[in-house]
């Protein structure tokens, strides 16, 4: 969005068409088209541009914002893992919640998550894949979603209100069209959205792994959400999740 911010005019239609084109292969274009074509999405883009022009750079960049949807085939959707907002570091967030493939080091939240999977799912007998790009989870039908798709660089929690209309639209669509999904809510911001999802889905809760990092805990209490998710997906979809 840097180049867009430098221009005096903003071609919203062109931006929208490029986003929808990138969503075609995963099937999310038809689900998200109603919102992306709306004036509410215009407001989001204009606000991001305004902040960028005012020197408040955001992350991830526009090309990565919808990557969680691009990598998760809608027809294979089984799990929605809900986090908070992207990593605020420069060029860390890659559009998939908790994923950090753009940097060469493991972010604390992801480290605690992978350690918890090692410990709870595999009983420390199989070391989980430490690849920093979580598209391998997305490709299995796990929508790795943050409740804000962007935040200011160096400053967490700044864009929840900006993205609230989009998250509301998404959960409303899923509630009416998809049942039996496993929702994993990590942290208080994520949990706020649990009431809008019908009870004909599975809802699992745990603290955000960042809380373990803040307190410098040896382990993160994941509430066995990965074990429970593995079991539900196996029973309901006959799919063995490869964490």
| Residue 40 neighbours by CB distance under 10 Å | 15
**Burial of residue 195 (number of CB atoms within 10 Å: 0-12, 13-18, 19+):** exposed
DSSP annotation of 149 reads S
Q: Is 115 a catalytic residue?
A: no
Q: Radius of gyration of the chain from Cα atoms?
A: 18
Category of 90 on φ-ψ map: left (φ > 0), alpha (ψ -120 to 50) or beta = beta
User: Which residues on adjacent β-strands are paired with residue 142?
Assistant: 79
* Cα–Cα distance for residue pair 188/6, rounded to 1 Å: 36
The one catalytic residue in 29, 42, 54, 85 is 85
Peptide bond into 7 cis (omega under 30): no
Q: Which residues are catalytic?
A: 85
């Amino acid at each position: 969005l840097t180049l867009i911010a430098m221009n005096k005019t903003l071609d919203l239609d062109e931006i929208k068409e490029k986003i929808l084109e990138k969503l075609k292969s995963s099937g999310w274009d038809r689900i998200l088209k109603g919102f992306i074509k709306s004036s509410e999405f215009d407001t989001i883009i204009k606000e991001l541009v305004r902040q960028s022009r005012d020197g408040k750079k955001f992350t991830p960049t526009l090309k990565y914002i919808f990557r969680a949807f691009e990598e998760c085939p809608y027809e294979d959707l089984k799990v929605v893992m809900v986090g908070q907002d992207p990593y605020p570091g420069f060029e860390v967030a890659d559009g998939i919640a908790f994923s950090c493939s753009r940097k060469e080091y493991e972010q604390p939240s992801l480290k605690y998550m992978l350690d918890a999977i090692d410990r709870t799912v595999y009983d420390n007998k199989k070391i989980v894949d430490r690849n920093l790009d979580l598209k391998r989870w997305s490709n299995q039908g796990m929508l790795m979603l943050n409740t804000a798709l962007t935040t200011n660089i160096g400053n967490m929690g700044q864009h929840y209100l900006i993205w609230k209309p989009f998250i509301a639209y998404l959960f409303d669509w899923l509630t009416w069209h998809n049942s039996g999904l496993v929702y994993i809510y990590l942290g208080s911001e994520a949990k706020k959205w649990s009431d809008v999802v019908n009870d004909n889905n599975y809802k699992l809760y745990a603290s955000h792994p960042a809380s373990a990092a803040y307190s410098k805990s040896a382990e993160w209490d994941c509430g066995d959400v990965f074990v429970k998710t593995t079991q539900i997906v196996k029973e309901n979809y006959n799919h063995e999740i490869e964490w």
